[in-house]
Amino acid sequence: MRRIGYVIPLLIGVITFTFVLVSLAPGDIVTATIGDYPASEEYLAERRAELGLDQPLIVQYVNYVLSALQGDLGYSFANRQEVLPLVVNHLGATMILVVAATVLSITIGLPLGLWAATTRRRAVDNALNLSTLVAFSIPAFWLALMAVLVFAINLALLPAHGMTTIGFVGTPIQRFGDLLSHLILPAAVLAVPETALMIRMTRASANEVLNSGYVLTAVSKGLARGRIIRRHVVRNSLLPVATVMGYTFGTMVGGSVLVEKIFGWPGMGSLLYDSVQRRDTSVVLGVVVVVAVVTLVVNVVTDVVYGVIDPKVREATAL
Amino acid sequence: MTTPAQQREQRALEVSDLDVSIHPFGGTRIHPVRHAFIDVRRGEVVGLVGESGSGKTMLSRGIAGLLAPGLQPRVGGRIVVNGSDLSGAGETRRREALRTELSYVFQDPNAHLNPTMRIGRQVAEAIRPGGRTVEELLDAVGLPATEEFARLYPHQLSGGMKQRIIIACALAKRPALVIADEPTTALDVTIQDQVLRLLRSLADQEHVGILLVSHDLAAIGQFCERVFVMFDGEIVESGPTEDVLWRPRHEYTRSLMAAMREIYDVAAAAPAGTSTVPEPVRES
């Protein structure tokens, strides 16, 4: 629970870093909205003064941090809306996608990783190793396009775009089915590298546990192999995997930008992409801040999950 | 019905002409144990001494069938545990023996208990149907025989308590033989003595044969009836502890004893008055 104390300095650090990066990029929202239309310098200066962009960068920065810490992330001129509700509206869609991908990677990755570690058939272990290598190496954009081509266009099994069918009317269950059919392809694409990571991690940690002293103790009790794996190997193998899951959540949100764009998923990734193009600085910063907060929350949740698995940690964090 | 005296005569372990070879990854096959012999009666504590690398652990693990499969171990020779012949036994027979006849106590208790399982369950899973309860076993190894204690996790116990839990696990199956591989090396000196006393009393009270693997000659001398000396993969000397330790015949045993005297006899050998400890100041 000490982590709570890090939240504020960490958030300020993230905001500072993003603020500097966005300021370094050429152009601003004024040039981006006007585009190639010939406008006088006076007009541009007037617009900038209106948006507070004429003030020194440091003043803009301090103002932003102070209001951000109070929950005010500014106003999006491109969307004509407050940033916080705008980002939060898109957060839901991203969460559906990322959580679905996480669930997929856990339900597939953990059993396969354990299988790779405990099987006595070398061929199985080698095949799984090779598959994870391939899964790591495939670029997400290629995989996403192939998924659209094969499953949406050639086989016409699943929709290729959006989160719901436009104008779809039906019972809540039918609407959920519609959402699910839209979810399968992007979630699967996002889950591929995560699943590979999960298999690798689980395999490595299960191998370590299999060579541990307490597994030898279990063997010396004359217990059957399956029982040793169920009662002594599985739980202890999950400890390092649980730690990594918290960290990969952040990278998944990052990875979802591309996947969301390709599948037209109305999440934060799409919002971020569009806002960067429009130089809509306040939204870019807002997305980064919200992602940072979500990642921190997920890490705290990971700590709690870790405590459930490891009695040693449970005792230490109970205070 | 056998009397205690008859039980004492029963052999818990008979090993002859034992060869153990392993094939470490990337190396060639080596033979760390050759033509070894050893026997343990029920109710007896037998010592196996020898320097590090002499093959003590390979010998004891080979007997128990607990060599790492990655080493591709091959065990040849005759192994009889409590009357049942395990020579050339397959995995299933080996497991059955570990389930019912023979137990192994490891060197480092901190590494040999599952950190995420309550100690009571770890003891319970070694109990055979109709065997003793967890509480009885905790009591037998001198730990609090309460439900609260059984619900603790290993990290909440001291090293000595953990080793007692491991000994309780070893007793749970009512074995004929317990192999204790340097069971006190990882413990404090004061705890070492307690654990060895516990093993000794278990041999006396439960008629278990105990093979105590150690390089601590003082402990062997104090707790063992007989001793086997191992050197470079072979048993070079064996017999009653007194004979072997005080009238060693093999060159290696002699050098072992000389080394031990150097450690233990310095204080006794130092002439009076030359002590480096200052005399207490007496008030006149």
Q: What is the pLDDT of residues B116-174, one digit of tens each?
A: 999 999 999 999 887 789 999 999 888 999 999 999 999 999 988 999 999 999 999 98
pLDDT at B273 over 50: no
Indicate yes or no: CB of B98 within 8 angstroms of CB of A232: no
pLDDT of res. A4: 66
pLDDT of res. B2: 53
Q: How far apart are the C-alpha atoms of A70 and A127, rounded to whole Å?
A: 52
**Partner B, chain A 203-242, Cβ-Cβ below 8 Å:** 211-214, 216-224, 231-232, 235-236
Q: Percent of chain A beyond pLDDT 70?
A: 97
Give the one of B112, B156, B172 whose C-beta lies nearest to A216's C-beta.
Answer: B112
Chain A residue with CA closest to B70: the answer is A211
Where in the sequence of chain A do the CATH 1.10.3720.10 domains occur? Answer: 84-317
- Extents of the domains making up chain B: 10-266
Q: Under the phi-then-psi rule, with left for phi > 0, alpha for psi from -120 to 50, and beta for the rest, what region is A162?
A: left
* Dihedral sign of CA atoms A123, A126, A128, A130 in order: negative
Q: How far apart are the C-alpha atoms of A162 and A183, rounded to whole Å?
A: 9
Question: Hey, of B114, B119, B123, which one would you mutate to test binding to chain A, going by the most A CBs within 10 A of its CB?
Answer: B114
pLDDT of res. B274: 47
Indicate yes or no: CB of B100 within 8 angstroms of CB of A222: yes
C-alpha torsion angle, residues A223, A227, A233, A235 (rounded to 10)? -130
Give the one of A217, A231, A236 whose C-beta lies nearest to B112's C-beta.
Answer: A217
pLDDT of res. A319: 40
Are residues A194 and A248 in contact, defined by beta-carbon separation less than 8 angstroms? yes
pLDDT at B40 over 90: yes
Give the one of B95, B116, B117 whose C-beta lies nearest to A222's C-beta.
Answer: B95
pLDDT at B198 over 50: yes
- What does DSSP say about strands B74-81 and B11-22: parallel, antiparallel, or unpaired? antiparallel
Interval A59-69: pLDDT, tens = 888 888 888 87
Are residues A282 and A76 in contact, defined by beta-carbon separation less than 8 angstroms? yes
Chain A residue with CA closest to B174: the answer is A221
Are residues A80 and A170 in contact, defined by beta-carbon separation less than 8 angstroms? no
pLDDT at B284 over 50: no
Interval B11-33: pLDDT, tens = 899 999 999 999 988 888 999 99
Chain B residues with beta carbon closer than 8 angstroms to that of A217: 106, 112-114, 122, 166, 169
pLDDT at B71 over 90: no
- Worst-scoring range by mean pLDDT, A293-307, B49-63, B152-166? A293-307
Indicate yes or no: CB of A216 within 8 angstroms of CB of B115: no
Q: What's the predicted TM-score (pTM) here?
A: 0.78
> CB burial class (10 A; 0-12, 13-18, 19+) of residue B266?
exposed
- Worst-scoring range by mean pLDDT, A95-99, A168-172, B100-104, B241-245? A168-172
Residue among B245, B203, B239 nearest B37 (CA): B239
Residue owning tokens 């960290």: A247
Chain A residues with beta carbon closer than 8 angstroms to that of B155: 311-312
CATH class of B10-266: alpha beta
pLDDT of res. A2: 58
Q: Which residue has the higher pLDDT, A15 or A319?
A: A15
Instruction: Return the number of other C-beta atoms located less than 10 Å from residue A2's C-beta.
Output: 7
pLDDT band, very low/low/confident/very high, at B177 (cuts 50, 70, 90): very high
Indicate yes or no: CB of A216 within 8 angstroms of CB of B66: yes
**ipTM attached to this prediction:** 0.84
Indicate yes or no: CB of A236 within 8 angstroms of CB of B114: yes
Q: Under the phi-then-psi rule, with left for phi > 0, alpha for psi from -120 to 50, and beta for the rest, what region is A114?
A: alpha
The third-level CATH classification (topology) of the domain covering A84-317 is MetI-like fold (1.10.3720)
Q: How far is B78 from chain A (nearest CA, A)?
A: 20
Q: Percent of chain B beyond pLDDT 70?
A: 89
